[in-house]
């Protein structure tokens, strides 16, 4: 006959056998306790769950690069997380490749409500986002995850006026720039008028390093490399595989040149109209998404360079500490010029630089 005494488990998880004395259980009290427990669990599970009759919140998300690039990969990941965490109460319609708004129109398009959410690169509009631009200076970040978290922390701390028309949902950067060329680079501090395609603050950095940088659309690069119009490019290393530049550029130097910063912003009125529990879902993703994006694209660069070496015999060179110090000295005028320029707008540029160069970024 089965024992009428209940079994129990110790804290350690070991079955401690039967309780040595009988327990008298009152059935009505037990039923009430169980009902209260069930009600509590249901309330906890409700959270952001969608109730029958709840209106679905539909939001558009504009982005400008092609779907396979990391800014769009992170967009799709964020969409999936939001929809999952709100149990379908929020649905995001994504528009990659400039299909809703072009690269330079995204911030204004979000501010005026053309798109509810948008991802854009601040350096595409020089001077308009002065606080953010501090991140694009030559800090020699080790990777995108570090740079992305520090950018996100900077914007969270400063809450800069340049974003006052929108709500910042997250921020991230591309990986540090590498030099990809068809001939070996002997000395990064003396690039000997090398014609290198670049963009953003890397254009100024390359001038200071003795190159003759050229700005051109990504779509023109393969033909320019093939015809010898340019001898290489400066960008983050994933393009060696994604754009197949390993066919033309047989030499890569991991020079840790300036990153390009991105922000994901939301229309202010649409943000304010969200229920508080949905706002919390978005806010909880702020640093998480920045870190996830950095980790994702850092691994992508690592894989792309490994593929380039194995498939196309590309040589990849890392700089030692002395070489990095020499490049820093060459690029120091960029830091000084930034501090002087933003001071005219009442911004303490040196404070921003010091924050970004702290060993531990900023705590969440």
Per-residue pLDDT in tens (0 to 9) along the chain, 364 residues: 444 333 323 333 333 333 333 434 455 555 555 555 554 444 444 445 555 557 899 999 999 999 999 999 999 999 999 999 999 999 999 999 999 999 999 999 999 999 999 999 999 899 999 999 999 999 999 999 999 999 999 999 999 999 999 999 999 999 999 999 999 999 999 999 999 999 888 999 999 999 999 998 888 999 999 999 999 999 999 999 988 999 999 999 999 999 999 999 999 999 999 999 999 999 999 999 999 999 999 999 999 999 999 999 999 999 999 999 999 999 999 999 999 999 999 999 999 999 999 864 443 3
Asked if the domains at 57-174+260-298 and 177-258+313-332 fall in one CATH topology, the answer is yes
What's the topology of domain 177-258+313-332? D-Maltodextrin-Binding Protein; domain 2 (3.40.190)
Question: Using N-to-C axis directions, what is the helix angle for 321-343 and 349-356, rounded to 10°?
Answer: 150
Contacts for 210 with CB less than 8 Å, ≥ 6 apart = 189, 190, 191, 192, 193, 194
**What's the rounded Cα separation, in Å, for the pair 297 and 74?**
9
Are 180 and 251 in contact by the 8 Å Cβ rule? The answer is yes
Cα 314 to Cα 143, 182, 192, 211, 254, distances in angstroms:
21, 10, 22, 22, 13
**What's the rounded Cα separation, in Å, for the pair 118 and 109?**
8
User: Residue ranges per domain, the chain?
Assistant: 57-174+260-298, 177-258+313-332
Structure tokens at 299: 């691994």
What's the topology of domain 57-174+260-298? D-Maltodextrin-Binding Protein; domain 2 (3.40.190)
């Amino acid at each position: 006959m089965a024992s009428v005494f209940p079994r129990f488990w110790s804290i350690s998880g070991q079955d401690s056998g039967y309780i040595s004395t009988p327990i008298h259980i009152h059935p009505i009290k037990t039923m009430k306790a169980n009902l209260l427990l069930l009600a509590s669990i249901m309330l906890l599970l409700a959270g952001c769950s969608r109730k029958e009759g709840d209106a679905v919140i539909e939001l558009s998300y504009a982005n400008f690069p092609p779907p396979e690039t990391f800014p769009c990969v992170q967009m799709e990941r964020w969409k999936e997380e939001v929809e999952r965490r709100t149990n379908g109460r929020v649905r995001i319609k994504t528009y990659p490749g400039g299909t809703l708004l072009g690269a330079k129109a995204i911030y204004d398009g979000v501010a005026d409500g053309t798109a509810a959410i948008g991802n854009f690169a601040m350096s595409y509009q020089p001077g308009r986002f002065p606080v953010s631009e501090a991140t694009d200076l030559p800090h020699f970040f080790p990777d995108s995850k570090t740079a992305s978290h520090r950018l996100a922390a900077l914007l969270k701390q400063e809450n800069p006026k340049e974003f006052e028309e929108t709500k910042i949902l997250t921020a991230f950067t591309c990986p540090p720039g590498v030099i990809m060329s068809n001939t070996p680079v002997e000395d990064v501090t003396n690039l000997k008028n090398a014609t290198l395609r670049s963009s953003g603050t890397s254009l100024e950095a390359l001038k200071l390093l003795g190159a003759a940088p050229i700005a051109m659309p990504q779509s023109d690069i393969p033909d320019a490399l093939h015809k010898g119009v340019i001898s290489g490019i400066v960008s983050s290393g994933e393009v060696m595989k994604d754009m197949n530049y390993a066919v033309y550029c047989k030499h890569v130097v991991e020079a840790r040149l300036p990153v390009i910063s991105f922000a994901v912003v939301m229309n202010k009125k649409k943000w304010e109209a969200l229920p508080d529990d949905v706002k919390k879902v978005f806010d909880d993703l702020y640093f998480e998404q920045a870190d996830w994006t950095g980790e994702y694209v850092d691994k992508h660069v690592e894989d792309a360079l490994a593929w380039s070496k194995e498939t196309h015999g590309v040589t990849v060179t890392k700089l030692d500490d002395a070489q990095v110090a020499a490049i820093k000295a060459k690029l120091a005028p960029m830091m000084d010029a930034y501090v002087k320029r933003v001071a005219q707008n009442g911004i303490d540029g040196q404070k921003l630089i010091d924050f970004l160069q702290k060993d531990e970024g900023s705590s969440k």
